[in-house]
Amino acid sequence: MSPEMTPKERVLKFLKGEKVDRPPIFSGMGNVIKPVLDKYGIVFSRVHRDSELMARAAAGMYREFGYECAVVPFDLGVEAEALGAKMNFYDEVEGLLYPTVSEKSVKDVNDVGIPGDLEHAGRIPVVTGAIKALRRELGDKVAIGTYLLGPFTLAGQVKELDELFEESFLEPEKTNRLLERLSDFIVRVSRIYRDAGADYITLREMGGTSDVMSPKSFRSLIKPHLIRILSEMSRPSILHICGDTNSIITDMAECGADAISVDQKNCMADTRQKLGAGAIILGNFDPIKVLHKGEMQDVGPAVLDSLKGGASAVWPGCDLWPEVPKENMEALINALKGAKPEPARKVS
């Protein structure tokens, strides 16, 4: 095995379950931090609407720190905006605030109008432009990732959240029709991103967490749509759900992604025991407490703990909050220097 595996080779071989020289250090979720933005003179509120800035910021995570991926976009509103929701980008705020949906566009399934010219809807062309730019500049060295919201989480972005939940409990058939339509949309967007050059896609279904949705409801309402999306999306793919996931972990594995991603609330020992040694399990590393709020000297041990605990790679359990200190990011990258080869693992 070559000791000079590129980050791209390492990440893509790893996601295919092939043997790699060491666990990769990467993510499939939002990861851009202030030291990169400051160095390149990029204003956070602008980075979400400009392909060139988006690509430069994402590439900066590799160029400045050696992070083994370049992932776009950074916020969770791209799909909602393409479906007619209005966004607040906080242009007037000097500090870092993620864009949020300011006006929702959907009351019921009939309001979900998927634009015929989806490639040019909302900020989808911004993301595809950034993916293409990253491909041109770093495509031979770094795996390029992107993400899409799962259908239930996306429903919560385009429809009033309280109404969605109440409807899903009291009139699940209505919600099912909405999720079916949103799943059509998600599959189509995933293909646009893949055609633009994305190497891997993370499907983020945060709304499926057992913190708010019972495992029974997850199985009956959300899981069938995830299975369908993941079977129609090209691979490699990752399914991410945060919060309490232990009671649905086998369901997550059955959805058909190449890897599953969880956050620090997951009991990894239980997850590993249930899914077996071969499963690719990502996350279980706290990006807020450890990476953002923690001390530099604690980052490396936390990384090693998550690997010893059963995580297959170094992958923060959620988006990186942009105020992660530079030295903590460096400690994350340096944590695996001298690590031993990683045996192949694959979700069965």
Partner 1 sequence: MKLVQIAGWLGSGKTTLIIALSRALSLKGSRVAILVNEVGAIPVDGKVIQEYGLTVKDIGGGCICCQVAGNLMKTLQLLSEGPKPEIVIIEPTGIAVPSSIRATILSWGRKQDVSMGPTIVLFDTTREEKLLTYESLKRLVSTQLKDADIIALSKVDMASAEAIARAGESVRLINPGARIVHLSTTRGDGFESLVQATEKITVQV
Q: Which residues bind partner 1 (CB under 8 A)?
A: 30, 75-76, 88, 93, 95-98, 100-103, 152-153, 156-157, 160-163, 165-166, 168-170, 206-207, 209, 211-214, 216-217, 242-243, 287-289, 293, 318-319, 321-322
Q: Can you list the positions of beta strands (E) in 263-314?
A: 281-283
Tell me the closest approach of the beta carbon of residue 247 to partner 1, in angstroms: 12
Q: Report which residue type is found at 222.
A: I
Tell me the closest approach of the beta carbon of residue 150 to partner 1, in angstroms: 9
Tell me the closest approach of the beta carbon of residue 93 to partner 1, in angstroms: 7
Q: Which H or E run contains 200? A: strand 200-204
What gap in Å lies between CA 17 and CA 56, rounded to an integer?
Answer: 30
**Helix/strand/coil (H/E/C) assignment for every residue in 206-255:** HHHCCCCCCHHHHHHHHHHHHHHHHHHCCCCEEEECCCCCHHHHHHHHHC
Tell me the closest approach of the beta carbon of residue 73 to partner 1, in angstroms: 12
Tell me the closest approach of the beta carbon of residue 206 to partner 1, in angstroms: 5
Answer yes or no: are the C-beta atoms of 124 and 189 closer than 8 Å.
yes
Within 8 A by CB and 6+ apart from 170, the residues are none
Answer yes or no: are the C-beta atoms of 332 and 299 closer than 8 Å.
yes
Tell me the closest approach of the beta carbon of residue 330 to partner 1, in angstroms: 21
Cα atoms in the 13 Å half-sphere on the side-chain side of 258:
21
Length of the chain: 348
Tell me the closest approach of the beta carbon of residue 5 to partner 1, in angstroms: 30
Answer yes or no: are the C-beta atoms of 334 and 9 closer than 8 Å.
no
Answer yes or no: are the C-beta atoms of 14 and 20 closer than 8 Å.
yes
Cα distances (Å, whole numbers) of residue 48 to 44, 129, 157, 159: 7, 12, 17, 22
Q: For residues 70 and 158, which CB has a smaller minimum distance to partner 1 in the complex? A: 158
Q: For residues 18 and 91, which CB has a smaller minimum distance to partner 1 in the complex? A: 91
Q: For residues 34 and 194, which CB has a smaller minimum distance to partner 1 in the complex? A: 34
Largest separation between any pair of C-alpha atoms in the chain: 57
Q: For residues 231 and 247, which CB has a smaller minimum distance to partner 1 in the complex? A: 247
Q: For residues 128 and 210, which CB has a smaller minimum distance to partner 1 in the complex? A: 210
Q: Which H or E run contains 68? A: none
Q: For residues 85 and 347, which CB has a smaller minimum distance to partner 1 in the complex? A: 85
Q: For residues 6 and 100, which CB has a smaller minimum distance to partner 1 in the complex? A: 100
Residues 207, 209, 214, 220: what is their CA dihedral angle, to the nearest 10 degrees? 60
What gap in Å lies between CA 276 and CA 250, rounded to an integer?
Answer: 10
Tell me the closest approach of the beta carbon of residue 245 to partner 1, in angstroms: 12
Answer yes or no: are the C-beta atoms of 15 and 8 closer than 8 Å.
no
Q: For residues 97 and 277, which CB has a smaller minimum distance to partner 1 in the complex? A: 97
Tell me the closest approach of the beta carbon of residue 208 to partner 1, in angstroms: 9
Q: For residues 328 and 345, which CB has a smaller minimum distance to partner 1 in the complex? A: 328
